[in-house]
Structure 1
């Protein structure tokens, strides 16, 4: 199978969870900041290029800009500046092999829109609506709890008419150890009152929705639409408590939401990716994502992917890059996934554990077909968002 793969192009990818890239030029420090989940500069005398992700960028990206693999970071960044941000972005995105992007637009910064990303890549895009960002926008124009809750309901329903899905970062804002049930009207209204009052007082901590009652309401509001719901689990920046982002903490919520028919996609997972794979194995509406974990584990991506595939049904695993800020992260996310999957499947076919035809079929499922099925993308995704 490995020889066959080398002899023909890989199939296109559907990146079901990603973000925009920076439009402008980046200096060395700003570039490095996207190579880590830390919110601080590298320790004195060190560099974030000296990580699995940093080495992967130097392995896969320089040839796309006319340089040798593993060239020094300084040479790579100089070449990037020579080409300019727009041309470097175009070259990198088109080389990633992603043709369909589902873009979470809830991050701040001067980032490309879904349409701009699709245009640069020569592909198509749809939006994933971040629930917490949606609630914060509604709160900006709401004066009372009742008006906020009514407008929020309208906003969720309106978003559901055009978006490919919803996403929640409740794991960041509170943790995944939430009460699994929908909040009752009285405590929900009280929570909305408290939050709006804190925002009106100018409390900077109240700018973001973090009340567990409101977060539960957002989850259940999305669950009652027909769209998939992405949930951040596991690995992330220091804004979260990793021990409270174990996807197994969602077990009771997963059980409770099942009658709605909402598909739940557990993003990232690492280092709890085996737990996410288990949940995908035992609940029909749960899916496991392999984005971000593979990007940051680099040369060890094959080992992590193998652990996901130990127990997760092959029709329940989805590829993504979770690329953010740098077009390089699209290249690295795609290449590490493809290399890891090709290596695993080739070995299993060689050992006689899998048939070659089954290996090809599973590769297509994880790369694109599962996402197309879960998000109902067939014949619906376009270049317009």
Structure 2
């Protein structure tokens, strides 16, 4: 039966559930001054001298409210006191506290973007008490091939071979593309021909000494990356929606992938990352394509726990419950691993409890959805081992074994 007392079980379950963070990054290992910390607190650039601090934003307020107690500070501690305590403890202790507090059992770590000195997957997992897996960024693979020197005619095959080598590394469970940043999704959905790839590679590799001119952002070569991902057979993570100012947001709408998803239907799982403000478009795609999944990571810690439930509610309006996953997309600051988990746990618990109280969900259904979203959906899609002595739930009540997608 539903009701306030029964629905409290949802909060208890999500509060204690070891989460699977299916997409995140490492954290900075160096001590940070105010400028360094604030530069990582926002997706935008810093504005020195503007009088506008990232602490005076929803994410800044959420850090002061939900992260300060982890550093033994009172809730809503002033920014100066927060930064002073962080400096007093040092980066190693700060990282240890937040990674442990997140309560994450599995971390799938994107290692493809690291302009700062970041933890490796193993270094990230150790203080969290978690298992670590790697996500390979394919644009980085292609750029490394080009930087190493390759003839245009051999570029396509060389990228394919390098990608195959990369995904054979121990612990790799997925690949990722940042096509949303490079070209956006307004692309010809068809697989490019070998001739098209050679011609595009010739233009890109016409830089000094036969090395590439800039990063990979030719539309044909980006399409080649996407289709290489399909051939590799692993889950493909795609950044969609919200990101830094390198992004053109109107071209990062996942609905623009519809024709490509028709062509690739039945191949690899496609994991739509972040999605905000396009979580409803992503939900539509997950509702109509069998192998499309989504999360609302990154957005959750930027809107904070106070609005996380609203974002999750829109994502779950039509999304099948086996299709929504948890991610933090935490990068740089260990606070984001903790804050992402807090926002997800509180937001989803409040949403499910409201539906139980309204008799729109049974308590049993709410508990199952909580476990699926926070843990089991990711274990299943990525083919990861489940908790000892605890079979994954399925709608029929039978045991559902993890599925390897390669």
Cα separation, 2, equivalents of 1:81 and 1:226: 44
1:305 aligns with 2:312: yes
Q: How does 1:1-385 map to 2 (within 5 A)?
A: 1-5=6-10, 9-41=15-47, 44-108=50-114, 109-162=116-169, 163-198=172-207, 200=209, 206-259=213-266, 261-298=267-304, 299-378=306-385
- Per-residue deviation, residues 30-77 of structure 1 (Å, max 9, x unmatched): 111112111232671121011111111111111111111110111111
Q: Which runs of 5+ in 1 are unaligned?
A: none
- Per-residue deviation, residues 101-156 of structure 1 (Å, max 9, x unmatched): 00001112211111110112111111100011111111111231234333211111
- The alpha-carbon distance between structure 1 residues 43 and 268, as it changes in their structure 2 partners (threshold 3 A), is farther
Q: Secondary structure at the match of 1:165?
A: strand
Conservation of the 8 A alpha-carbon contact between 2:70 and 2:98: yes
Cα separation, 2, equivalents of 1:55 and 1:40: 17
Conservation of the 8 A alpha-carbon contact between 2:155 and 2:198: no
- The alpha-carbon distance between structure 1 residues 192 and 345, as it changes in their structure 2 partners (threshold 3 A), is same
Q: Report how far residue 225 of structure 1 moved.
A: 1.8
- Per-residue deviation, residues 331-376 of structure 1 (Å, max 9, x unmatched): 1100001000010111110111100011000001010111111111
Q: What is the TM-score when the length of structure 2 is the normalising length? A: 0.90
Single out whichever of 61-70 and 150-159 deviates more from structure 2.
150-159
- The alpha-carbon distance between structure 1 residues 182 and 202, as it changes in their structure 2 partners (threshold 3 A), is closer
Q: What is the TM-score when the length of structure 1 is the normalising length? A: 0.94
CA RMSD of aligned residues (A): 1.7
Q: Secondary structure at the match of 2:203?
A: helix
- The alpha-carbon distance between structure 1 residues 6 and 216, as it changes in their structure 2 partners (threshold 3 A), is closer
- Per-residue deviation, residues 155-205 of structure 1 (Å, max 9, x unmatched): 1112222311010001100111111011011111011111111364778xx
Cα separation, 2, equivalents of 1:363 and 1:224: 33
- The alpha-carbon distance between structure 1 residues 17 and 199, as it changes in their structure 2 partners (threshold 3 A), is farther
